[in-house]
C-alpha cells in the first residue's frame, strides 16, 4: 500500500520504479502488483534480485509462511520479521542506480507506524543515510521519505483521494494467494482502512 501510494502521489517525478526480490514469502505477489501499477502509469519498472539476503540473513520473513507470527503489529510480536539492514542495502543500490541514470533522488515510503519495529525506517536512520549518499555521489543523490511522520491510515487517505485500487496491492507476510488476515501486517492493513474511514477491498482468508 505504501509504495504504491507514493508511486501515484509522485508519478510526475518518478523516472524508474524498483522492486527488490530478496526471497521474502510475499515477493512474487508484491512484484506482480508493482508491475500492474507501473504499467498503468507508464513508469519503467525493474526487478533487482537480492537472493544473497535469503541465503545469509536471519528473519522469519525469509523462512516460510509458518514462521510469520500472528497477532498485533507491535515490536514484541513483529521483531522476528526484521530483515537486518534491508532498507540500507536497498537504498544504497537505489543510490547507485540513480546516479547511473543521471537522477538525483531516491524515494522510500516508510511511515510512522514502522518506527518502533524497524530501525531502518526511522528518521534517525533516513537522515544520515541520505547525507552519506549525497556525500558519496557526484550527483549528490538524496533520499526523499515524505511519509516518515504520518500513519498508514494517512497514507490510505492519500491513496483514496488519488483513486488507487488497493485491491491490487499486497501486504501479507505469509505470502498466500489471499491475505491471511491474521498476521501483523494484515491486521495493520485492516486498521489503516478502518481509521481512514475507507472500505477495505482486500480479500482475506479468514
DSSP 8-state assignment for residue 22:
-
What are the Cα distances from residue 94, in Å, to 9, 17, 100, 143?
Answer: 19, 10, 10, 10
The answer to whether 180 is a known ligand-binding residue is: yes
Beta bridge partners of 143: 106
Alpha helices in 147-205, H assignment, sequence order: 152-161, 184-196
- Residue 197 falls in which region: left (phi positive, over 0), alpha (psi -120 to 50) or beta: left
The answer to whether 156 is a known ligand-binding residue is: no
Q: What are phi and psi of 81, to 5 degrees?
A: -85, -5
Q: Is the CA virtual torsion 34, 36, 37, 40 positive or negative?
A: positive
Element (H, E) at 123: helix 123-135
Distance CA 32, CA 48 (A): 14
User: Known binding site for Zn(2+): residues?
Assistant: 172, 180, 183, 186
User: Known binding site: residues?
Assistant: 172, 180, 183, 186
Amino acid at each position: 500500500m505504501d509504495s504504491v501510494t507514493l508511486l501515484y502521489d509522485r508519478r510526475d517525478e518518478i523516472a524508474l520504479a524498483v522492486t527488490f526480490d530478496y526471497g521474502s514469502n510475499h515477493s512474487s505477489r508484491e512484484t506482480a502488483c508493482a508491475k500492474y501499477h507501473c504499467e498503468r502509469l507508464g513508469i519503467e519498472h525493474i526487478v533487482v534480485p537480492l537472493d544473497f539476503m535469503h541465503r545469509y540473513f536471519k528473519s522469519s520473513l525469509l523462512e516460510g509462511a509458518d514462521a510469520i507470527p500472528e497477532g498485533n503489529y507491535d515490536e514484541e510480536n513483529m521483531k522476528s520479521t526484521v530483515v537486518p539492514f534491508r532498507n540500507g542495502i536497498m537504498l544504497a543500490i537505489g543510490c547507485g542506480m540513480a546516479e547511473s541514470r543521471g537522477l538525483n533522488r531516491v524515494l522510500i515510503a516508510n511511515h510512522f507506524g514502522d518506527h518502533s519495529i524497524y530501525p531502518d525506517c526511522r528518521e534517525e536512520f533516513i537522515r544520515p543515510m541520505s547525507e552519506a549518499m549525497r556525500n558519496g555521489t557526484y550527483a549528490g543523490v538524496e533520499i526523499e521519505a515524505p511519509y516518515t511522520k504520518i500513519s498508514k491510515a494517512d497514507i490510505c487517505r492519500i491513496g483514496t483521494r488519488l483513486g488507487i485500487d488497493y485491491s491490487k496491492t499486497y501486504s501479507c507476510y505469509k505470502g498466500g494467494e489471499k491475505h491471511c488476515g491474521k498476521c501483523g501486517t494484515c491486521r495493520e492493513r485492516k486498521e489503516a482502512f478502518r481509521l481512514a474511514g475507507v472500505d477495505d477491498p482486500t480479500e482475506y482468508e479468514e
